[in-house]
Structures are given as C-alpha cells and as structure tokens.
Amino acid sequence: MDVELDLTLPIGGREVRVALRSSAPSIAIVGPSGIGKTSLLRAIAGLSRGCRGKVQLRGTVLQDDASKILVPPHERRIGWVPQEAHLFPHLSVRENIAFAARAPSKTLDDELGITALGITALLDRAPSTLSGGERQRVAIARALACAPQTLLLDEPLVALDREARAQIAERIIEHCTTHDILRVVVAHDESDLTALAEQRFEMTERGHP
C-alpha cells in the first residue's frame, strides 16, 4: 500500500518539511512530543489549512499543489481516531457510530466487531457518561464504521488498561487485514507500536529518514 508524503507544515510556529515513502500495510510515526506527529496526521486527513505539498495514499493523489489537486477531507476515505476521541456529545454511542456508517441500517456488529471491542453494553449511553477507555473504543468503532481505505490512529490505546490494549490492538489489526485498510499509527508506547505497525518512521528535528 503506497504512501507518499512531501509536505511543508506549520508546526509550532515554524514551517517544517516532512517527506516519507512507504509500501508497508502499516506505518508507525514516532518522535518526541511536540514534534508534530499529530499535525502530520491532520495534514494527511486534509485538516491542515497551512499545509503545502503532496499527499498520495494508495495510488490516489489527495493533494498536489503543483497540479492544483486538493481533495476535501470528507472525500478522502480516511478514518481518523483522534487522541481525545471527540465523540459527538449530543448523540448516543450507537448514533455516533451510525453517523459514520454509509448505509443507515446495517447490523453494526457484523461489520465492526462491536462485541469484540467491548462496547455492546454502551450503545445507548451518552458519551459524557463514558470513561476515557470506553470513549476511545467507541471512537475506534466509529472510525471503522465509515469504511475507510486508510485508518489514522493517534495514540489509540493510551486510555485503555494493559489487558485491554492487546485485545483491542488485535481487533484493529484483524479488521484492517480483512478489509484491506492501510494503518498509520502515532504512539509512544513501544509495545503498542510493535503490535500495531510494521514499518516505523521517526520524526526528528531534521524530518524523516
């Protein structure tokens, strides 16, 4: 699964150049905090206004300033699991997930492994009543529900306890493999990374290797 990035991003008040190429089915992006990993994910998702350059995912050019191509976020077939879940507070868990699903009345479980993610009991709850770990699981389910071709995961396991992490990581990998989804992961924890990603890129002061 091809990934090609050649971007100049505003990060922390500076303009930073990031370049990356990969063919692996899963990529991890690591680096010290504040270096811009989340900014990079946002740029890939199309949410970064000030980002210039080229983004190519799986053979599709999503952004190319030279050819004046800029695909808007909602057309990029990307699922984004942000670091803080960001569940829609006015919708129940079920409605949050259904918002992302393309066809309205799918049996969510079959597609997304709701049970495997451990959120069946939460379906009718309001997001504000959930714990951090529960919210994160729902965010994962929601991102999977939009049938993405690429999944961007920003610290997806950080709110879960040790036992749950391995289990959820497995679920994510299984889903991505079955549905042929490219995984781009930002994480701190070494064991998280080993679980979730094959190829690893490190963001340093000078950019990517």
Q: Which residues bind another protein (CB under 8 A)?
A: 42, 45-47, 72-74, 76-80, 82, 85-90, 99-100, 102, 127-128, 130, 135, 142-143, 145-146, 152
Sign of CA dihedral 50, 52, 54, 60: positive
Residue 202 C-beta: closest distance to another protein, Å: 25
Q: Which residue has the tokens 């492994």?
A: 113
Q: Are strands 14-22 and 26-30 parallel, antiparallel or unpaired?
A: unpaired
Residue 81 C-beta: closest distance to another protein, Å: 9
**Distant-in-sequence, close-in-space partners of 149: CB < 8 Å, separation ≥ 6:** 57, 58, 77, 78, 180, 181, 182
Comparing CB distances to another protein, the nearer of 40 and 195 is 40
Comparing CB distances to another protein, the nearer of 62 and 195 is 62
Comparing CB distances to another protein, the nearer of 99 and 198 is 99
Residue 23 C-beta: closest distance to another protein, Å: 24
C-alpha distances (whole Å) from 15 to each of 7, 18, 60, 79, 206 are 10, 10, 25, 26, 12
Residue 89 C-beta: closest distance to another protein, Å: 5
Residue 88 C-beta: closest distance to another protein, Å: 6
Task: Report DSSP letters for 56-121, one per residue.
Answer: EETTEEEEETTTTEE--GGGS-EEEE-TT----TTS-HHHHHHHH-SSTT--HHHHH-HHHHT-GG
The secondary structure of residue 142, as a DSSP letter, is H
Q: Are strands 14-22 and 3-11 parallel, antiparallel or unpaired?
A: antiparallel
Comparing CB distances to another protein, the nearer of 135 and 183 is 135
Residue 68 C-beta: closest distance to another protein, Å: 20
Comparing CB distances to another protein, the nearer of 150 and 195 is 150
Comparing CB distances to another protein, the nearer of 105 and 205 is 105
